[in-house]
A and B are shown apart, each in its own frame.
Chain A
Amino acid sequence: MNCEVCQLKELVVEPFEIREVLRCILHTIVFHRALGLVRPKDVDSELFEITYVQCGDAELEKKIEEKIDHFIGWVDKHPNRKSQVCLSFYEVKSKQPTWFSNKIERLHWEEWYVNLHVVNSKGHGKFRQNKAAVDHGENSVEERSSRRAVLETSLRDVLFQIIKFVNERKDHIPQVSNSEVISFPYEITIPSSSDSSFGWHTDMFKRMLQTGHPNMLS
């Protein structure tokens, strides 16, 4: 099955910006894939001068928030890294049972990779990159605000990128078979679960990974 992959431009973020960045991006993506009757909800980002659109689906919002929480938790333990959050859409197909799988198979038809480079501006001085800066957390106000402006522009670019992508790639989207707001099953994967097992025997991989090194990335 044709699986379209979109690698979004990398964003350099500080930990406290992760939440808003991911909200903007994930909600924007899902909005374009929620083909049911949507009453769009405009949300002004708390951090950026950006208004993004939500579907107004409470469950989706909850799920996204949860995943963001997990991701932030992961970032706490793995500071100053590049990492990925993947939002993927799939179809559920039943499949011939084999010796190691369930009967249900997830056929992914679209994957979005949100690339984040988390930098910790305060503390962890030795990890700091691109900063000629001084002591921990003593960035000048100007530096902070200019950095914020840069991030805002980049984030906007990423949202444009999403819009372009959804416009250009439409043929691979499967038929809508339900009347749900969120038309297609989706999942959000973060590094702690794995980045290589999307939807495919995730449980097993998870189990393996949880005992081993959680980070397959960076």
Chain B
Amino acid sequence: MASSSCNSFSEPAIMEQIITEFFTKSVHIILESRSPYVSSRNYSGEQFISSPSPSSSSSSSSVRPRHQWFNLALGDCPAALENFDLWRQSNLEPLVIDVVLIRRPSRQHHDSKSEKIVERWIIQYESRSNGSVTRESCPGAKKSSGGNSQSSELSAMYKKTYKKSIIMLRSLYAMVKLLPAYKVFRDLNSSGQIRPLSLSHRISSFAEPFTREEEAEMNQFGFTPVDTPCGRLTLSVSYLMKLDDIRSETSTPLPTQVIPDYVGSPTTDPLKRFHSLPSSLPAYASFSRRHSWSNDHGATPVSQSPSPTYSNACVFRANPNSRVPPHNHLRDNAPSACSVPNNASTVHRKKIQALMNIGLHLHCHPQLPLALQCNFAMIINIMPFCAQRVHQSIFPYPGMGRIICKTRACPSPSKAKCVKPGCSPRVDIAKTHISTSSAAHTSSPECKLQAKKELFRMGDMHTDIMLHKALYLGKDETGSLSGLKISSCTSPRLQISRSSSRLSFLDEFDDSEFPCPFAVDEDIIDSCNSFAVTLSSFHIKHFLLTMSLSNEVSVQWSYEIHDQWPQYKSLQQRNFSSMFHQNRIEPLDRQGQTADYLETTGLVTARKSQEAAVSAIVKMLKNAPPLRPEPSMQLSSHVIRDETRTSSMEQNTVAEVMASPGSSASVAGMTTSEFIRSRTVADAFEELRGFKERKELLLRRIGSQISESPSKDS
């Protein structure tokens, strides 16, 4: 216990520390629920407490003490807070966090970007020297008897202050979830939809005064100040109560088949609810963002940046020193504002962002070429809309083959170089591929049609919050393709913090030329239609691909990439993910009642009960695809589904599932209840083991660049 004496101008050291940590914790709590990439919503409490950070060994020693401040264990310390410590100079400065709702200019109206402050949090330490604290509240300073009694008094005071600040932070935590902005945050964060809105925040040490109208709209809430020996801690919030009109605009008119809240939403994540499962289940235990957060944290300079988007911004600045903005003004999470030069045109900015998205994706997984292939498949392969070829065409098509080979040929250390050469021809490849594949592929007449007039439109790059990229399109004239969505969820932060070679790769794009075709040449993109790609950022990276073919078939296919994780975890997770999403495959109702349909399926049920959750896992496992096309696996995975398929779909890879309308009933009827009875967790473990083996097999094969089809597996 520090026994430094308390005069009216300085707190004892221990109190100073409490105050400092109080600021940090408050910011953490607020940003965690307002700034998407900082969120820790996806972990469960038990997981943390019973098995503290099973995988975050790298961060546990340095970060965990911080977790425990105020007995409130939040997610891993967000990178924003590391900056925050550097940035913050004195506890005497107030801390103002403005939560800003940004409406991007809509395509139709081309109106200017509008920002609105929806919340303002002010955290402040008022020293008694300010005259704002009465003497009574500062007993430690009032009495100056013997040193012993003073120090014990201080000790008591310290405990009291600490306890009260615990409660204050608890109530802050609860409050943050209750305010309307939290709903917006959740909506933006949990769904893969493209939204015209985003949340951002500004941290500064002064509050720009509100206008009168603004002030009139705002509600106020002042937390009761906590007294410290020589001052007090105050916390208050002004917030807009009415966000409803704003919220109503948050959805963009995506095709109706795109399922909202599809990926990444904690509420739709059945694994989250599996509290009854043994935590030793590897895939489950590691199914949290924590891992991705902690891995390689701090390994590279950019990893300190407050958010992935910000990280990207830093990369583009190519100036590590700019990480801490001068003038005590930290603006983050608004790449549209900070990631590109101010004079950049909107188009250019979009290009950059698209490049960031795709470039990072392309580059992110040298050891798991499959993942890369998925990326490519997503971008290129989907165009023909031949679902069953999504996977396979990775190899057969010359264009694709080239890309993939280049990527795969590169040993990991030189990956920066290997992707880059692949980069420049890519547009051509993509184009070629469209024509080639459409000509070559005849599984569906629509495909040909489609490919001919494939129009690409690079849609809203909604990077502020989701780091989304969207290419979307309406319907083609035949109406055969009613919707397609690819959602790639990634954690850019991870990618950024990988290695120097990665950085050099990024740096190479720092010039304004951007030779990479995936810088989304809008000419090309605008010329494509009926094609939607959403790249969004979530804690866990995965792709989700939803296709519908002729209104009869809907395919969703997904992969996760965890490039920082141990390999087997990655693979298992990918399996999990794909299973998970496959589980949700629904034949699209001709009337487009997908949403209703979804409601009735097992996944929704899985949220409701643990039994159902277990069964959902088992179902996923049973239906899981292998990592590459394997005929035998196809069989086994489809036996359960009792699916019908057309002969033209013989090439089906297991990474996709097609269900004809005829089988829709069986799929729908196949809700969890059947599995509850027939499958157990033990089965799930069995399956997991199988996946592990398969993974190892695959890894070996990847090493030798062989694309032969495996013949074993179950």
Q: Real complex partners, A and B?
A: yes
A interface, CB within 8 angstroms of B: 28, 31-32, 35-42, 44, 49-58, 156, 159-160, 162-163, 166-168, 170, 173, 175-176, 181
| A173 close to B163 (CB less than 8 A) | yes
| A56 close to B45 (CB less than 8 A) | yes
A156: B residues at CB distance < 8 A: 178
Closest to B226 in A: A170
Closest to B69 in A: A37
**Known contacts A54-B45, A167-B168, A167-B171: A35-B163 contact under CB 8 Å:** yes
Residue in A51, A170, A181 whose beta carbon sits within 8 Å of that of B186 in the complex: A51
| A32 close to B171 (CB less than 8 A) | yes
Give the complex CA separation of A202 and B709 in angstroms.
Answer: 72
| B46 close to A58 (CB less than 8 A) | yes
| A167 close to B45 (CB less than 8 A) | no
B267: A residues at CB distance < 8 A: 44
| A52 close to B71 (CB less than 8 A) | no
B46: A residues at CB distance < 8 A: 56, 58
Residue in B48, B177, B221 whose beta carbon sits within 8 Å of that of A52 in the complex: B177
Give the complex CA separation of A42 and B72 in angstroms.
Answer: 13
B224 within 8 Å of A (CB atoms): yes
Residue in B45, B175, B183 whose beta carbon sits within 8 Å of that of A40 in the complex: B45
Give the complex CA separation of A51 and B173 in angstroms.
Answer: 11
Give the complex CA separation of A32 and B159 in angstroms.
Answer: 17
How far in angstroms is the closest Cβ of chain A from B220? 12
Give the complex CA separation of A44 and B189 in angstroms.
Answer: 14
| A28 close to B72 (CB less than 8 A) | no
| B183 close to A39 (CB less than 8 A) | no
B49: A residues at CB distance < 8 A: 37, 39, 56, 181
11 additional contacts, CB 8 Å, given A163-B175, A166-B167, A181-B49?
A31-B170, A35-B167, A37-B68, A37-B72, A37-B73, A51-B182, A52-B177, A53-B173, A167-B224, A170-B167, A173-B167
B41: A residues at CB distance < 8 A: 42
Closest to A179 in B: B71
A35: B residues at CB distance < 8 A: 71, 163, 166-167
How far in angstroms is the closest Cβ of chain A from B29? 9
Instruction: Please report whether the interface of chain B is mostly helix, strand, loop or mixed according to DSSP.
Output: helix
B164 within 8 Å of A (CB atoms): yes
Residue in A37, A167, A181 whose beta carbon sits within 8 Å of that of B167 in the complex: A167
Give the complex CA separation of A58 and B224 in angstroms.
Answer: 31
A44: B residues at CB distance < 8 A: 266-267
| A32 close to B174 (CB less than 8 A) | yes
| B170 close to A166 (CB less than 8 A) | yes
Closest to A176 in B: B163
How far in angstroms is the closest Cβ of chain A from B599? 14
How far in angstroms is the closest Cβ of chain B from A37? 5
**B: interface residue count bin:** 20 to 34
Give the complex CA separation of A58 and B221 in angstroms.
Answer: 32
B144 within 8 Å of A (CB atoms): no
| A160 close to B167 (CB less than 8 A) | no
Q: Report the 7 A-B pairs with minimum CB-CB distance, sorted nearest first.
A: A56-B45, A41-B45, A167-B224, A39-B48, A39-B73, A51-B177, A39-B45
A31: B residues at CB distance < 8 A: 170, 173-174
| A32 close to B163 (CB less than 8 A) | no
**Known contacts A32-B167, A32-B170, A167-B224: A42-B73 contact under CB 8 Å:** no
Give the complex CA separation of A41 and B41 in angstroms.
Answer: 8
Give the complex CA separation of A168 and B171 in angstroms.
Answer: 11
Give the complex CA separation of A166 and B167 in angstroms.
Answer: 7
How far in angstroms is the closest Cβ of chain A from B260? 15
Cβ contacts A to B, 20 pairs, < 8 Å = A31-B170, A32-B167, A32-B170, A37-B71, A37-B72, A38-B73, A38-B170, A39-B49, A40-B173, A51-B177, A55-B45, A56-B44, A56-B46, A57-B45, A159-B174, A162-B174, A163-B171, A167-B224, A173-B167, A176-B163
Give the complex CA separation of A32 and B183 in angstroms.
Answer: 22
A32: B residues at CB distance < 8 A: 167, 170-171, 174
A36: B residues at CB distance < 8 A: 71
Query: Would you list which residues of chain B between 1 and 53 have a CB under 8 Å from chain A?
Result: 41, 43-46, 48-49
| B224 close to A168 (CB less than 8 A) | yes
Residue picked from A40, A42, A56, most chain B C-beta under 10 Å? A42
B223 within 8 Å of A (CB atoms): yes
Closest to B172 in A: A163
A54: B residues at CB distance < 8 A: 45
Closest to A162 in B: B174
A49: B residues at CB distance < 8 A: 183
Closest to B165 in A: A170
Query: Would you list which residues of chain B between 168 and 195 have a CB under 8 Å from chain A?
Result: 168, 170-171, 173-175, 177-178, 182-183, 186
**Known contacts A41-B44, A56-B44, A170-B224: A160-B71 contact under CB 8 Å:** no
B164: A residues at CB distance < 8 A: 170
A41: B residues at CB distance < 8 A: 44-45
B73: A residues at CB distance < 8 A: 37-40
B174: A residues at CB distance < 8 A: 28, 31-32, 52-53, 159, 162-163
Give the complex CA separation of A77 and B68 in angstroms.
Answer: 46
Closest to B174 in A: A53
A175: B residues at CB distance < 8 A: 159
Give the complex CA separation of A114 and B695 in angstroms.
Answer: 54
B182: A residues at CB distance < 8 A: 51
How far in angstroms is the closest Cβ of chain B from A101? 31
Residue in A38, A56, A57, A166 whose beta carbon sits within 8 Å of that of B171 in the complex: A166
Residue picked from B164, B170, B182, B186, most chain A C-beta under 10 Å? B170
Closest to B223 in A: A167
